[in-house]
Amino acid sequence: MRNLSVLLLDENVLDAKLNQDELQLHLQDYRCTFHLVTSKTEYHKILDTLAPDVVLSDYNLPSYTGLEALRDLKAKFPYTPFIFVTGTQQEEVAAQAIKEGAWDYVVKDRISRLAMAVQNALKLREEQLKNIEIQDAVAKSELRFRTLFNSASDAIFMMQGPTFIDCNTATEKIFGCTKDQIVGQNPILFSPPFQPSGLPSETAAHEKIQSALAGQPQFFEWQHIQYDGTPFDAEVSLNRLEIGNEIFIQAIVRDITQRKKSEIENKRLAMVANTTNNIVVIADSEGRIEWVNRAFTVITEYPFEEVIGKRPGTFLQGPETDLVQTQFMSQKLAQGQGFKDLEIINYTKRGKPYWVQIEVQPIHDASGRLIQFIAIESDVTERKKTQLALADREKRFRNLVQQSPVAVIEWDTNLNVLEWNEAAENIFGYARTEAVGRSVFGLILPAAPDPEIQRVADLLIEQKGGNRNTNKNTTKNGTTILCEWYNRPLTDEAGKTIGIVSMVEDITERVKAEIELKESELKFRQIIHSSPMGIYVYEVNEKNQLILVDTNPAADTLTGIRNVELIGKTIEEAFPGLRETDIPKYYLDAALHGTPWYTEDMYYDEGKITGAFQVYAFQAGHSRVAVMFLNITGRKQIEAAIKQKNEELLKINAELDSFVYSASHDLRAPIASLLGLVEVARLEKDNASLERLLDMQKRSLMKLDNFIHDIVSYSRNNRLDIQVEPIDFITLIEGIFEQLYFMDHLGYLDCRIVVAPTLNFHSDSKRITVVLNNLISNAIKYADISKPDPYVEVRVDKSPDGVTICVADNGDGIDEEHLPKIFDMFYRATQKSSGSGIGLYIVNEITQKMKGTLKVESIKRVGSKFFVNLPNLN
Ligand code: ADP
């Protein structure tokens, strides 16, 4: 239900009530409120506070006319329906009233029409109001469009066919002329003859306009010229408009000169941004990515499409990112502020952390509104790494200094303690807290400044030295210690000394040990020096060579050279004779592995010892070998002589043994047989038998004589010196054969003597006689007379150094097995022998004495040949 506010103007309240009832009755669609006024004053008053929907007024009022009331209402509410309700039925009055603007005229007699009149009036009013609204809206919209039209920054104009018919204010500005200069003109007036594409403007424009007219909206870039001919780049859109029955073209021209410029500028900037190694991010005012450069993708591994519209912090940060820093950034961005030099850990798409230094600039438009942020980020991972490594190194270095076994003390230039490490605490007994801040004087040096220490400090401060000094210091408990100081000036960047750092070592014990060592070394040296043994000391160098490092005077005496001159040389250089031997190997073994080596080294000449050394090599410290040696030539010579004598004695002893054996047999047998024969002869009376017995006795005695003769020869050979004389072999051999006349079967033998002429041979004739006597008597003794032509031959031939005597026979010969032994003393090779077995032994001895040689060739049952080669002793 709609509200309806009804104003009743009537001086007759009763009439008014009637009207009210009438309306109440018939206007049931409305919730009516009635306001009754009876005078002009009341009427005016209520209109000040109330806007009635309808006014019902009497036509004739006492001090106020209904027409006046109508006019007053119209002045205030021109569209509120005003209906006259009157008692008089007058056509003119009604006409007058309608003319004046009343909406209806109802006669009280026909009051039933009142409700209808009010309803009609309200309907009419509604339509009226609607029309007014529409008109208002049209007017407003027209105004708005005009304003829009004129306030647009783009040129907007209308064309009918090829002629401008209207344009906005921007058109004047863009084309540089007034509306009058445009309207009525052909657009070709504002284009150059040709477009940058090369096409004639007229043709191109015509084409575009025709297309637009055909209903295809056109949008293209165009080069225009201003009224004065200045060209400018524009973006043009053409649209066909149908207004009523007419067809227009609406053109919008935007001057894009500036945009073109900034496009180029932007391209250039983007190029720069893309070629830089720094990350460039452009974000909107909310911090959402609008653009990133190539370096961004290279470093973060995110392609542009993946990050556009995102806030960098949401995907770049990771576990090690510093939250304080990120909060700072968010806060700054939220406040629309930039920041600089912020360093933070970000993560690549694959999760690899990297350090960036970020600078963010807010970008504002002309009106000061925040539109973008530009972030430039440089990858500082390497620098950060170095920085962190440096910091880490510094920390480690600090620790090292603190834990260094060497005392480290830092001083200011006045020698006050700045730093004091643990080792300093240990050496000097002062805790760090006790030492820091105190002067060196009175702390570890006497309180009175020492000029020498001051001098060292001055040298250090002036950077001229003082880097090392040794002095006595006092510890907290008063002990004096000897310290070695290594000092360095600490400088600032300008090179000015700002302090001193010292490293201190307590060398008290070391110095003491050194002195002791020196003393013991001295003693040791003295021992070496006075040792009767020769000493060489070798050290193994890095090339595994033995270098002679020490020797002693005894070595000089023993070797006969000045060994000191060989010091520093390799063993092979010093003693080339050792090159081909294994000795350097043994020394190395001793030096490196501690394997001792011992030898006796001897040198011979013609079987005689000319030199002998006893050598001991043993490890003497790390990679060192000491070689001690003694000359033992004398001892060795004596030893050799004794050995020889011993061997001779042994031989003599053996000979003596043989002799005793032979003597018992060879001497006693003939004597026993002789004694027996003598007893038999004593009983024999027959002369012939006695004669036979005497013969037998004679043979026994001869045997005995032979033996004694042999022994005497042997003894003589040993005792007597060689007597050299010319030898006449023929006389000598013939003499021997003559002496052997008594031998049994000499008479059956062909005895031949062949002696080479002009021998001119000198030797010992007695010895040669003994030799030949033995050989010839054997040849006769062992002859085989059963052979057809038994013989004995003695030949003497010239040899290179003298003569060769050959005694040959074709007798029994000697068994091969006996041959090697026939020259032994008392050796008999056959049972047939009646001799003592000493003959060939004497032959051999004599031959050797005369520096000759003896040889035998014999075949059993064929014969024997004995060769004696004797040098000419002249
Ligand atoms: P013996 O007194 O036994 O002859 P020898 O020393 O003279 O002693 O000779 C040693 C041995 O050599 C003899 O016992 C004999 O067997 C053998 N012998 C030496 N000369 C000859 C020779 N001309 N023919 C054969 N045998 C010989």
Residue nearest to atom 7 of ligand 1 (CA): 839
The total of other beta-carbon atoms located within 10 Å of residue 468's CB is 10
What pLDDT, on the 0 to 100 scale, is given for residue 432? Answer: 92
Q: How far is the CA of 836 from the centre of ligand 1 (A)?
A: 9
Helices 66-76, 91-100: axis angle to 10 degrees equals: 20
26 class by beta-carbon count within 10 Å (0-12 exposed, 13-18 middle, 19+ buried): middle
Q: How far is the CA of 796 from the centre of ligand 1 (A)?
A: 21
What pLDDT, on the 0 to 100 scale, is given for residue 388? Answer: 85
Query: Going along 174-288, which residue ranges are E strands?
Result: 218-225, 231-243, 246-255, 279-284
Q: For residue 837, is pLDDT > 90?
A: no
Residue to probe by mutation, ligand 1, list 776, 806, 822, most atoms within 8 Å of CB: 822
pLDDT (tens digit, 9 = 90+) per residue, 69-87? 999 998 998 889 999 888 7
What would the mean pLDDT of 269-281 be, rounded to a whole number?
81
Average pLDDT, the chain: 89
Residue to probe by mutation, ligand 1, list 658, 782, 823, most atoms within 8 Å of CB: 782
Query: Going along 433-476, which residue ranges are E strands?
Result: 468-474
Residue nearest to atom 23 of ligand 1 (CA): 779
Distance CA 66, CA 691 (A): 239
Residue type, position 464, single letter = K
Q: Is 802 in the pocket of ligand 1 (CB under 6 A)?
A: no
Q: Is 778 in the pocket of ligand 1 (CB under 6 A)?
A: yes
Q: Is 837 in the pocket of ligand 1 (CB under 6 A)?
A: yes
pLDDT (tens digit, 9 = 90+) per residue, 477-532? 999 999 999 999 999 888 899 999 999 999 999 999 999 999 988 888 888 888 88
Please report the atom of ligand 1 found closest to the CA of residue 779.
23
Distance CA 290, CA 374 (A): 10
Please report the atom of ligand 1 found closest to the CA of residue 842.
6
Please report the atom of ligand 1 found closest to the CA of residue 830.
16
Q: How far is the CA of 660 from the centre of ligand 1 (A)?
A: 21
Q: Is 489 in the pocket of ligand 1 (CB under 6 A)?
A: no
Residue to probe by mutation, ligand 1, list 772, 781, 818, 844, most atoms within 8 Å of CB: 781
What pLDDT, on the 0 to 100 scale, is given for residue 541? Answer: 94
**406-420, 526-540, 675-689: range with lowest mean pLDDT:** 675-689
Instruction: Give the residue, 56 or 699, on which the prediction is more confident.
Output: 56
Alpha helices for 531-594 (secondary structure H): 553-559, 571-574, 583-593
Phi and psi torsions of 609, nearest 5°: -70, 125
Q: For residue 666, is pLDDT > 80?
A: no
Distance CA 486, CA 657 (A): 90
Proportion of the chain above pLDDT 90, given as a percent: 47
pLDDT (tens digit, 9 = 90+) per residue, 108-118? 888 888 888 89
Q: Is 835 in the pocket of ligand 1 (CB under 6 A)?
A: yes
Determine contact, residues 612/632, Cβ cutoff 8 Å: yes
Distance CA 798, CA 817 (A): 32
Helices 765-781, 839-849: axis angle to 10 degrees equals: 150
Please report the atom of ligand 1 found closest to the CA of residue 836.
2
Q: How far is the CA of 813 from the centre of ligand 1 (A)?
A: 9
Q: Is 833 in the pocket of ligand 1 (CB under 6 A)?
A: yes
Helices 765-781, 687-719: axis angle to 10 degrees equals: 140
Residue nearest to atom 20 of ligand 1 (CA): 778
What pLDDT, on the 0 to 100 scale, is given for residue 106? Answer: 87
Distance CA 749, CA 731 (A): 20
Q: How far is the CA of 692 from the centre of ligand 1 (A)?
A: 28
Please report the atom of ligand 1 found closest to the CA of residue 811.
24
Residue to probe by mutation, ligand 1, list 746, 794, 840, most atoms within 8 Å of CB: 840
CA nearest 204: which of 160, 183, 192, 156?
192
pLDDT band (50, 70, 90) for residue 281 = very high
Q: How far is the CA of 787 from the centre of ligand 1 (A)?
A: 19
Please report the atom of ligand 1 found closest to the CA of residue 823.
6
Indicate the pTM of the whole model: 0.36
Q: For residue 145, is pLDDT > 70?
A: yes
Residue type, position 637, single letter = Q
Q: How far is the CA of 857 from the centre of ligand 1 (A)?
A: 13
pLDDT (tens digit, 9 = 90+) per residue, 2-14? 889 999 998 888 8
Q: Is 128 in the pocket of ligand 1 (CB under 6 A)?
A: no
Distance CA 794, CA 808 (A): 7
Q: How many CA atoms are closer than 13 Å to the CA of 230, on its beta-carbon side? A: 10
Please report the atom of ligand 1 found closest to the CA of residue 812.
25
pLDDT band (50, 70, 90) for residue 634 = confident
Q: For residue 308, is pLDDT > 80?
A: yes
Q: Is 836 in the pocket of ligand 1 (CB under 6 A)?
A: yes
Residue nearest to atom 16 of ligand 1 (CA): 829
pLDDT (tens digit, 9 = 90+) per residue, 317-370? 999 999 999 999 999 988 989 999 899 999 999 999 999 999 999 988 878 889
Instruction: Give the residue, 153 or 609, on which the prediction is more confident.
Output: 153
What pLDDT, on the 0 to 100 scale, is given for residue 664? Answer: 65
> Strand order in 279-284's β-sheet?
289-292, 279-284, 370-379, 353-364, 339-347
What pLDDT, on the 0 to 100 scale, is given for residue 682? Answer: 84
The total of other beta-carbon atoms located within 10 Å of residue 473's CB is 20
Q: Is 811 in the pocket of ligand 1 (CB under 6 A)?
A: yes
pLDDT band (50, 70, 90) for residue 775 = very high
What pLDDT, on the 0 to 100 scale, is given for residue 776? Answer: 95
CA nearest 313: which of 341, 335, 274, 344?
344
What would the mean pLDDT of 196-202 be, rounded to a whole number?
90
Q: Is 814 in the pocket of ligand 1 (CB under 6 A)?
A: yes
Q: Is 840 in the pocket of ligand 1 (CB under 6 A)?
A: yes
Please report the atom of ligand 1 found closest to the CA of residue 840.
6
Proportion of the chain above pLDDT 70, given as a percent: 99
Determine contact, residues 236/219, Cβ cutoff 8 Å: yes
What would the mean pLDDT of 817-832 be, rounded to a whole number?
89
Strands 534-540 and 546-551: antiparallel
What would the mean pLDDT of 565-585 be, rounded to a whole number?
92
Q: How far is the CA of 636 from the centre of ligand 1 (A)?
A: 43
CA nearest 729: which of 792, 791, 803, 810?
803
Please report the atom of ligand 1 found closest to the CA of residue 827.
10
Determine contact, residues 283/296, Cβ cutoff 8 Å: no
Q: Is 782 in the pocket of ligand 1 (CB under 6 A)?
A: yes
The SS3 assignment for 87 reads coil
Q: How far is CA 827 from CA 647, 817, 834, in A?
A: 21, 13, 12
Q: Is 830 in the pocket of ligand 1 (CB under 6 A)?
A: yes
Q: Which two tokens stand for residue 714?
A: 């042997």
What would the mean pLDDT of 780-789 be, rounded to a whole number?
92
pLDDT (tens digit, 9 = 90+) per residue, 418-452? 999 999 999 999 999 999 999 999 999 998 888 88
CA nearest 120: which of 108, 102, 95?
102
What pLDDT, on the 0 to 100 scale, is given for residue 437? Answer: 94
Q: How far is the CA of 833 from the centre of ligand 1 (A)?
A: 7
Q: Is 822 in the pocket of ligand 1 (CB under 6 A)?
A: yes
